[in-house]
Amino acid sequence: MLICGNGDVQCECGGGGGCCELAPGTPVRPTSILVVGATGTLGRQIVRRALDEGYEVRCLVRPRPAPADFLRDWGATVVNVDWEGKVALIQCAKAMGIQKYVFYSIHNCDKHPEVPLMEIKYCTEKFLQDSGLTHIVIRLCGFMQGLIGQYAVPILEEKSVWGTDALTRIAYMDTQDIARLTFIALRNENINGKLLTFSGPRAWTTKR
């Protein structure tokens, strides 16, 4: 998830209740971006692209031993948080008057409620839509970078490659391209409130 800030207050999110308390604080600049999940495969590319384009970047990361040192080296500010309270984060963004909220979801998440991750993504999409926040939802198919560990490394090490015979096809996409397109979308006011799907040019089955 990515938030582009624009407000005059500082937000303090409470525990599991999802409450927000507003207090005077440092104004949030229009060029300030908060990246949640910044150490992930996609998150780090979003941070890198944002910094390259001149944004002031803050990153929310899970409190664990030195996962985010490279983010600090790049020039981002890292804040340790508990990974609970996704609803509180959206509520807090709404209360602060955040300029835009970008949420990364999964392609076809609405069609697979039996899969917990898919259901969580779809429920978050609906909650964000009902929140009244200016937002964009971007559904993703798969990351090209994930293929390295899944296929390339086992092949090079002459180990078994695990997959399925399912006919499901995935249009993998490079996370650097996702980051680039995200900032194009972020600057386009005509797609606020829209549901976008980013995918690669060709879809592949595991067998292929």
Position 129 scores a pLDDT of 93
DSSP state string for 77-134: EEEE--S--HHHHHHHHHHHT-SEEEEEEETTGGG-TTSHHHHHHHHHHHHHHHHT--
Full pLDDT tens readout for the chain, 208 residues: 455 443 333 333 434 444 455 444 446 677 889 998 888 889 999 999 999 999 999 888 766 666 667 777 887 777 655 435 677 888 888 888 888 999 999 999 999 888 888 888 898 899 999 999 999 999 999 888 877 777 777 778 888 877 666 777 888 899 999 999 999 999 999 999 999 999 988 887 777 7
Q: d(Cα 66, Cα 85) in Å, to the nearest integer?
A: 22
pTM for this prediction: 0.74
Q: d(Cα 3, Cα 93) in Å, to the nearest integer?
A: 8
Q: Where are the domains of the chain?
A: 2-198
CATH topology of domain 2-198: Rossmann fold (3.40.50)
